[in-house]
Structure 1
Protein backbone atom coordinates (compact mmCIF):
# COMPACT_ATOMS: atom_id res chain seq x y z
CA UNK A 1 0.00 0.00 0.00
CA UNK A 2 1.33 3.44 -0.95
CA UNK A 3 1.00 6.45 1.32
CA UNK A 4 1.75 10.01 0.24
CA UNK A 5 3.12 12.61 2.64
CA UNK A 6 1.59 16.05 3.03
CA UNK A 7 4.77 17.56 1.59
CA UNK A 8 4.41 15.44 -1.54
CA UNK A 9 0.79 16.50 -1.97
CA UNK A 10 1.57 20.20 -1.66
CA UNK A 11 4.76 20.31 -3.77
CA UNK A 12 4.04 17.68 -6.42
CA UNK A 13 4.33 19.37 -9.82
CA UNK A 14 4.32 18.02 -13.31
CA UNK A 15 7.71 18.97 -14.79
CA UNK A 16 6.78 17.67 -18.23
CA UNK A 17 4.66 20.79 -18.65
CA UNK A 18 7.79 22.92 -18.96
CA UNK A 19 9.35 20.56 -21.50
CA UNK A 20 6.18 20.62 -23.61
CA UNK A 21 6.03 24.40 -23.49
CA UNK A 22 9.68 24.59 -24.58
CA UNK A 23 8.95 22.17 -27.43
CA UNK A 24 5.93 24.24 -28.42
CA UNK A 25 7.99 27.45 -28.52
CA UNK A 26 10.76 25.75 -30.51
CA UNK A 27 8.26 24.35 -33.04
CA UNK A 28 6.61 27.76 -33.35
CA UNK A 29 9.98 29.42 -34.03
CA UNK A 30 10.84 26.77 -36.64
CA UNK A 31 7.40 27.11 -38.23
CA UNK A 32 7.69 30.90 -38.49
CA UNK A 33 11.21 30.76 -39.92
CA UNK A 34 10.25 28.09 -42.49
CA UNK A 35 7.12 30.03 -43.46
CA UNK A 36 9.12 33.23 -43.97
CA UNK A 37 11.71 31.31 -45.98
CA UNK A 38 8.93 29.79 -48.10
CA UNK A 39 7.42 33.23 -48.77
CA UNK A 40 10.81 34.50 -49.96
CA UNK A 41 11.40 31.47 -52.21
CA UNK A 42 7.97 30.47 -53.51
CA UNK A 43 9.50 28.45 -56.34
CA UNK A 44 11.15 26.05 -53.84
CA UNK A 45 8.43 23.56 -52.81
CA UNK A 46 10.48 21.81 -50.08
CA UNK A 47 10.03 24.79 -47.73
CA UNK A 48 6.27 24.61 -48.25
CA UNK A 49 6.29 20.90 -47.34
CA UNK A 50 8.51 21.50 -44.30
CA UNK A 51 6.22 24.33 -43.19
CA UNK A 52 3.16 22.07 -43.45
CA UNK A 53 4.90 19.25 -41.54
CA UNK A 54 6.08 21.65 -38.82
CA UNK A 55 2.62 23.23 -38.60
CA UNK A 56 1.04 19.80 -38.20
CA UNK A 57 3.51 18.90 -35.44
CA UNK A 58 2.84 22.25 -33.80
CA UNK A 59 -0.91 21.60 -33.77
CA UNK A 60 -0.37 18.07 -32.43
CA UNK A 61 1.85 19.26 -29.57
CA UNK A 62 -0.57 22.11 -28.87
CA UNK A 63 -3.42 19.60 -28.61
CA UNK A 64 -1.40 17.46 -26.19
CA UNK A 65 -0.55 20.55 -24.16
CA UNK A 66 -4.17 21.65 -23.89
CA UNK A 67 -5.27 18.14 -22.89
CA UNK A 68 -2.48 17.97 -20.33
CA UNK A 69 -3.35 21.38 -18.89
CA UNK A 70 -6.99 20.36 -18.45
CA UNK A 71 -6.00 17.15 -16.66
CA UNK A 72 -3.41 19.06 -14.57
CA UNK A 73 -6.10 21.54 -13.53
CA UNK A 74 -8.38 18.68 -12.48
CA UNK A 75 -5.54 16.99 -10.59
CA UNK A 76 -4.65 20.26 -8.85
CA UNK A 77 -8.24 20.68 -7.74
CA UNK A 78 -8.34 17.13 -6.35
CA UNK A 79 -4.97 17.60 -4.65
CA UNK A 80 -6.28 20.80 -3.06
CA UNK A 81 -9.28 18.90 -1.74
CA UNK A 82 -7.15 16.11 -0.31
CA UNK A 83 -4.72 18.53 1.36
CA UNK A 84 -7.67 20.30 2.98
CA UNK A 85 -8.84 16.90 4.23
CA UNK A 86 -5.37 16.16 5.62
CA UNK A 87 -5.40 19.52 7.42
CA UNK A 88 -8.79 18.75 8.97
CA UNK A 89 -7.61 15.30 10.08
CA UNK A 90 -4.47 16.85 11.57
CA UNK A 91 -6.60 19.29 13.52
CA UNK A 92 -8.78 16.46 14.87
CA UNK A 93 -5.76 14.34 15.81
CA UNK A 94 -3.92 17.37 17.22
CA UNK A 95 -0.80 16.81 15.10
CA UNK A 96 0.90 18.80 12.35
CA UNK A 97 -0.21 17.98 8.77
CA UNK A 98 3.40 17.16 7.90
CA UNK A 99 3.22 14.18 10.28
CA UNK A 100 0.36 12.59 8.32
CA UNK A 101 0.33 10.47 5.18
CA UNK A 102 -2.66 9.45 3.09
CA UNK A 103 -3.13 6.53 0.71
CA UNK A 104 -4.41 8.49 -2.29
CA UNK A 105 -3.87 11.78 -4.08
CA UNK A 106 -7.56 12.39 -4.77
CA UNK A 107 -10.68 12.35 -2.67
CA UNK A 108 -12.96 9.37 -2.74
CA UNK A 109 -13.92 6.38 -0.70
CA UNK A 110 -11.59 4.17 1.34
CA UNK A 111 -9.20 6.86 2.51
CA UNK A 112 -6.59 5.68 4.98
CA UNK A 113 -4.44 8.01 7.03
CA UNK A 114 -1.11 7.08 8.59
CA UNK A 115 -0.50 9.11 11.72
CA UNK A 116 2.10 8.84 14.50
CA UNK A 117 -0.67 7.38 16.69
CA UNK A 118 -1.63 4.66 14.18
CA UNK A 119 -3.76 4.15 11.10
CA UNK A 120 -7.16 5.75 10.60
CA UNK A 121 -9.95 5.29 8.08
CA UNK A 122 -12.06 8.23 6.93
CA UNK A 123 -15.77 7.55 6.55
CA UNK A 124 -17.58 10.31 4.69
CA UNK A 125 -21.29 10.97 5.08
CA UNK A 126 -23.59 10.54 2.08
CA UNK A 127 -23.13 14.06 0.68
CA UNK A 128 -19.36 14.15 1.39
CA UNK A 129 -19.49 17.25 3.58
CA UNK A 130 -18.17 15.63 6.77
CA UNK A 131 -16.24 12.58 7.84
CA UNK A 132 -15.61 10.38 10.84
CA UNK A 133 -12.18 9.08 11.82
CA UNK A 134 -12.04 5.44 12.81
CA UNK A 135 -8.86 3.91 14.21
CA UNK A 136 -7.97 0.67 12.46
CA UNK A 137 -5.30 -2.00 12.64
CA UNK A 138 -3.70 -3.16 9.41
CA UNK A 139 -2.76 -6.80 9.09
CA UNK A 140 0.51 -7.42 7.26
CA UNK A 141 1.03 -3.80 6.27
CA UNK A 142 3.40 -3.44 3.34
CA UNK A 143 3.70 0.32 3.34
CA UNK A 144 5.53 2.40 0.73
CA UNK A 145 5.91 6.05 1.72
CA UNK A 146 6.18 8.57 -1.13
CA UNK A 147 7.87 11.73 0.06
CA UNK A 148 8.38 15.06 -1.64
Structure 2
Protein backbone atom coordinates (compact mmCIF):
# COMPACT_ATOMS: atom_id res chain seq x y z
CA UNK A 1 0.00 0.00 0.00
CA UNK A 2 1.27 3.48 -0.84
CA UNK A 3 2.04 5.53 2.26
CA UNK A 4 2.43 9.28 2.24
CA UNK A 5 4.08 10.97 5.19
CA UNK A 6 2.88 14.48 4.41
CA UNK A 7 0.32 16.38 2.39
CA UNK A 8 2.83 17.91 -0.05
CA UNK A 9 4.14 14.52 -1.19
CA UNK A 10 0.60 13.27 -1.66
CA UNK A 11 -0.41 16.41 -3.54
CA UNK A 12 2.58 16.31 -5.91
CA UNK A 13 2.05 12.58 -6.53
CA UNK A 14 -1.45 13.28 -7.84
CA UNK A 15 -1.32 16.75 -9.38
CA UNK A 16 2.38 17.44 -9.85
CA UNK A 17 2.57 21.18 -9.44
CA UNK A 18 -0.62 21.87 -11.39
CA UNK A 19 -2.35 23.94 -8.72
CA UNK A 20 -5.25 25.11 -10.94
CA UNK A 21 -6.13 21.49 -11.79
CA UNK A 22 -6.11 20.60 -8.10
CA UNK A 23 -8.33 23.56 -7.25
CA UNK A 24 -10.77 22.58 -9.99
CA UNK A 25 -10.78 18.91 -8.99
CA UNK A 26 -11.28 19.63 -5.29
CA UNK A 27 -13.82 22.40 -5.87
CA UNK A 28 -11.83 25.00 -3.95
CA UNK A 29 -10.08 28.26 -4.74
CA UNK A 30 -6.51 28.42 -5.96
CA UNK A 31 -5.65 30.44 -2.86
CA UNK A 32 -6.85 27.56 -0.65
CA UNK A 33 -4.65 25.11 -2.57
CA UNK A 34 -1.62 27.34 -2.00
CA UNK A 35 -2.48 27.73 1.69
CA UNK A 36 -2.78 23.95 2.20
CA UNK A 37 0.42 23.29 0.26
CA UNK A 38 2.41 25.94 2.14
CA UNK A 39 1.13 24.72 5.52
CA UNK A 40 1.63 21.08 4.45
CA UNK A 41 -1.80 20.38 5.91
CA UNK A 42 -5.30 19.91 4.51
CA UNK A 43 -8.60 18.85 6.09
CA UNK A 44 -8.75 15.16 6.96
CA UNK A 45 -11.46 14.34 4.41
CA UNK A 46 -9.38 15.91 1.62
CA UNK A 47 -6.32 13.93 2.62
CA UNK A 48 -8.35 10.69 2.70
CA UNK A 49 -9.80 11.46 -0.72
CA UNK A 50 -6.36 12.14 -2.17
CA UNK A 51 -4.99 8.91 -0.68
CA UNK A 52 -7.81 6.98 -2.35
CA UNK A 53 -7.13 8.70 -5.68
CA UNK A 54 -3.38 8.06 -5.33
CA UNK A 55 -3.99 4.34 -4.82
CA UNK A 56 -6.69 4.22 -7.49
CA UNK A 57 -8.87 2.07 -5.29
CA UNK A 58 -10.60 2.10 -1.95
CA UNK A 59 -9.15 0.68 1.30
CA UNK A 60 -7.37 -2.66 0.97
CA UNK A 61 -9.63 -4.55 3.37
CA UNK A 62 -13.05 -6.13 3.18
CA UNK A 63 -15.51 -5.24 1.78
CA UNK A 64 -13.56 -2.90 -0.52
CA UNK A 65 -10.84 -5.23 -1.82
CA UNK A 66 -12.35 -5.51 -5.32
CA UNK A 67 -13.53 -1.89 -5.52
CA UNK A 68 -11.62 0.73 -7.49
CA UNK A 69 -12.11 4.25 -8.82
CA UNK A 70 -12.02 5.02 -12.53
CA UNK A 71 -12.50 8.73 -13.16
CA UNK A 72 -15.91 9.73 -11.78
CA UNK A 73 -17.03 6.12 -11.34
CA UNK A 74 -16.66 3.61 -8.54
CA UNK A 75 -16.45 0.04 -9.81
CA UNK A 76 -17.65 -2.66 -7.43
CA UNK A 77 -18.25 -6.38 -7.77
CA UNK A 78 -21.96 -5.46 -7.99
CA UNK A 79 -21.75 -2.85 -10.73
CA UNK A 80 -20.52 0.61 -11.61
CA UNK A 81 -21.94 3.88 -10.34
CA UNK A 82 -20.99 7.51 -10.10
CA UNK A 83 -19.33 8.68 -6.93
CA UNK A 84 -21.92 11.47 -6.66
CA UNK A 85 -24.61 8.82 -6.13
CA UNK A 86 -23.12 8.16 -2.69
CA UNK A 87 -23.81 11.71 -1.58
CA UNK A 88 -27.32 10.98 -0.35
CA UNK A 89 -26.77 7.39 0.77
CA UNK A 90 -26.96 8.26 4.48
CA UNK A 91 -30.20 10.17 3.90
CA UNK A 92 -31.70 7.20 2.05
CA UNK A 93 -30.66 4.81 4.82
CA UNK A 94 -32.05 7.15 7.51
CA UNK A 95 -35.35 7.47 5.61
CA UNK A 96 -35.56 3.72 5.21
CA UNK A 97 -35.03 3.09 8.93
CA UNK A 98 -37.46 5.87 9.88
CA UNK A 99 -40.29 4.61 7.68
CA UNK A 100 -39.65 1.01 8.75
CA UNK A 101 -40.07 2.15 12.37
CA UNK A 102 -43.29 3.97 11.50
CA UNK A 103 -44.67 0.89 9.74
CA UNK A 104 -43.67 -1.34 12.65
CA UNK A 105 -45.35 0.99 15.15
CA UNK A 106 -48.51 1.06 13.06
CA UNK A 107 -48.61 -2.75 12.89
CA UNK A 108 -48.25 -2.90 16.67
CA UNK A 109 -51.13 -0.45 17.07
CA UNK A 110 -53.56 -2.41 14.84
CA UNK A 111 -55.10 -4.48 17.70
CA UNK A 112 -55.67 -1.31 19.76
CA UNK A 113 -57.28 0.44 16.79
CA UNK A 114 -59.49 -2.60 16.14
CA UNK A 115 -60.65 -2.60 19.79
CA UNK A 116 -61.46 1.10 19.62
CA UNK A 117 -63.37 0.65 16.37
CA UNK A 118 -65.29 -2.30 17.82
CA UNK A 119 -66.24 -0.24 20.89
CA UNK A 120 -67.44 2.56 18.58
CA UNK A 121 -69.50 0.05 16.59
CA UNK A 122 -70.97 -1.36 19.81
CA UNK A 123 -71.82 2.13 21.07
CA UNK A 124 -73.40 3.09 17.73
CA UNK A 125 -75.40 -0.15 17.76
CA UNK A 126 -76.56 0.59 21.30
CA UNK A 127 -77.63 4.11 20.30
CA UNK A 128 -79.53 2.75 17.29
CA UNK A 129 -81.32 0.24 19.49
CA UNK A 130 -82.24 3.00 21.95
CA UNK A 131 -83.54 5.20 19.13
CA UNK A 132 -85.47 2.32 17.64
CA UNK A 133 -87.15 1.52 21.00
CA UNK A 134 -88.10 5.15 21.70
CA UNK A 135 -89.76 5.60 18.28
CA UNK A 136 -91.78 2.46 18.48
CA UNK A 137 -92.81 2.57 22.09
TM-score by length of 1: 0.28
User: Highest relative contact order (Cα 8 Å, sep 6+), 1 or 2?
Assistant: 1
Which one has the bigger strand percentage?
A: 1
Comparing both structures, which one devotes a greater share of its residues to helix? 2
Give the number of the structure whose alpha-carbon radius of gyration is greater: 2
